[in-house]
Amino acid sequence: MYGIDLHNNKDRYFTIGENKHQKFEFLPFKRQIMESEPSALLYDHKEAFASDKEPLGKIIGHEAEIIHNIERPYPPLLKRTAYPEIPESREALEINIKELQDLGVIRKVGNNEEVKITTPVIVAWHNGKSRMVGDFRALNT
């Protein structure tokens, strides 16, 4: 059982369990973390992390190479057909794809380009918001 002092006095604390006389403070722990070396290091390099203005971060020149096994014959799950969809999901999917293209995460494939891996995507809905979800289980086999 946890207890928190909700009164706005100078002694802000919380208790744990039945012992209401042993009080734990919030501020010293927070100050200790903020003054720690890892926290300072992260703060010094905050421009490398995602923010509302740079949703993918700003690390340039450190590309990760992902090597897929896409040699013929293809595993049956690497070439899959699309899942059925409803019109609302199609509209949401187009919005999600446009957003990822604008961020430079994905690009449109040209007519003459060979696509070695295709995977179906679905639109997951939560609280009225859509999210594109890819079925990449075949890549993990």
The string of DSSP codes covering 70-99 is -PSSPPGGGB-PPPP--HHHHHHHHHHHHH
Structure tokens at 48: 């490398």
Q: How far apart are CA 7 and CA 14, in angstroms?
A: 11
Of the chain, the percentage scoring pLDDT greater than 90 comes to: 1
Structure tokens at 90: 């199609």
Give the residue-averaged pLDDT of 127-141: 78
What ranges in 1-141 are assigned the alpha helix state H?
Answer: 27-34, 37-44, 87-103
Q: What's the pLDDT at 23?
A: 74
Ordered structural domains, the chain, with CATH? 2-48 (no CATH), 76-140 (3.10.10.10)
Give the residue-averaged pLDDT of 22-40: 65
Which of the given ranges, 21-35, 36-50, 93-107, has the highest pLDDT on average?
A: 93-107
pLDDT digits (tens, 9 = 90+) for 70-102: 566 555 555 556 666 778 888 888 888 898 888
Q: How far apart are CA 132 and CA 123, in angstroms?
A: 5
Q: Is residue 111 pLDDT above 60, yes or no?
A: yes
Q: How far apart are CA 100 and CA 108, in angstroms?
A: 11
The residue among 53 and 93 whose pLDDT is bigger is 93
Q: How far apart are CA 65 and CA 114, in angstroms?
A: 19
pLDDT digits (tens, 9 = 90+) for 56-68: 766 666 666 666 6
Q: Is residue 123 pLDDT above 60, yes or no?
A: yes
Of the chain, the percentage scoring pLDDT greater than 70 comes to: 57
Place of tokens 């609302």: 88
Q: What is the DSSP letter of 39?
A: H
Q: What's the pLDDT at 1?
A: 45
Q: How far apart are CA 117 and CA 66, in angstroms?
A: 13
